[in-house]
Chain A
């Protein structure tokens, strides 16, 4: 692997990604925010110690849970996915919203 090969690879990835629809790219942005938030919390716990462990779990779980739900939404909304061809996008979004409501209810309860 030489430098030009790596650059060619990155360029092709970037152009392929540019072809994805806009709403999927918004979901990807939301996903990046969520995962980075989880990573920041893990690094903080590694520095400070896990004293209110339930708070740590609650914070990390809220980030990871929304990430998981966002991934599910993206899968269901992706037109290239043969499996969910007949699923209405409104139905997918409604499921996403309801699951998120339950998740945040649990998170607030466990936050302590």
Chain B
């Protein structure tokens, strides 16, 4: 273009300025550019293809949130969780309680390896649960009743219906008190349950009961006379449990497949001895909310940008000195299901640790998700770590650690002219003066 040679540089300048400003604006407005914590591909293994339609309400609640469900029969030889080191699915749902053997390359070891690699799992057992399913559950910390014909029976908490059943269809509302797992809305109606019960080891800090049976429940064969007191009884029986592994994989274990079914979702429920009849059982709300938690739509934390610096400076030093003032900050974000939001809490703590924590301080959060604090380096030198160990019920565990050495004073960094030592300074200088005077007196006396 030969027209107006002084015009085109101006246009170029304008274009670069516009792109710079727009990119700066977008960078400031965006949250961290982290990817969602879990993918959306879920493999559902069924032992009866009719389950796909009899439990369609539950499956549609998952697919309406964007999950890509792949239904396969448990004996399907093409079913496979991984191809060499690449996992084909992000989550697994086992609605196949009576399966003795899986087809394809799936077996108990493959499923446990799937969980060990950080993926989530939902297992539903039922009255005729196979040993394979029970073994997988045992590996996840949950022990089903060994008696194959046992079911959970409750003569005081069963669901009232037109015919007098054997009281195995029970009503439960002993939920765990955790909004992060069960959602903010209280579950008004109790949950219908018909299946087997399990127990968890109370010493295990990774497993917890989400739905417990009432005090009158026990696990026994409903059709036979009891010859001995049942081994599992009372609220030690867990109907639905979850396990969050140390790699933050979440596993849901339920003793009843029928509690996921459309029949239970739509059914009205009235507990024996209660006056009100709820129009809709709490199954749908309970299971939808807990599935959200299992697939990391809630309660997933991500920490990034661990920074520390000396008070008043900006860059990270390679080493601190004892009695320095330093500031530490970390950014923690929480996945809200669709985006990363700043996490707000007042119980995240940082330790300044060398074999044991010398300093333990609670980080204060601002609204942008930056947790920060400042403290004085202790009067001990060595190699320390900034450790954040955050384990809160229902949230992923945060385990951050950053190593930093701490050196003692250099020889010219000690205190000078200490007031307590003034007499000693005075004595030393007076001795020097005395010596000087003495030489004169000694030489010139007489």
Contacts and interface: CB of A to CB of B under 8 A. Distances in A.
B141 to A, nearest CB: 57
A107 B429 CA distance: 10
A59 B418 CA distance: 14
B9 interface: no
Given A55-B418, A104-B432, A97 B425 contact: no
26 contacts: A26-B441, A26-B442, A26-B445, A34-B431, A37-B427, A40-B427, A48-B420, A52-B418, A52-B420, A52-B421, A55-B425, A56-B421, A58-B424, A59-B424, A60-B427, A62-B428, A62-B431, A63-B431, A66-B435, A93-B443, A97-B439, A104-B431, A104-B435, A111-B424, A111-B428, A112-B418
A41 interface: yes
Given A37-B430, A62-B428, A66-B431, A51 B420 contact: yes
A27 interface: yes
Interface string A59-74: 1101100100010000
A8 interface: no
A23 interface: yes
A58 B446 CA distance: 35
Contacts of A40: 423, 427
Contacts of A100: 435
Interface of B: 414, 416, 418, 420-421, 423-425, 427-428, 430-432, 434-435, 438-439, 441-443, 445-446
A111 B423 CA distance: 11
Overall SS of chain A's interface:
helix
Given A37-B431, A52-B418, A52-B420, A111 B442 contact: no
A97 B432 CA distance: 11
B421 A30 contact: no
Given A22-B446, A55-B421, A63 B439 contact: no
Contacts of A44: 423
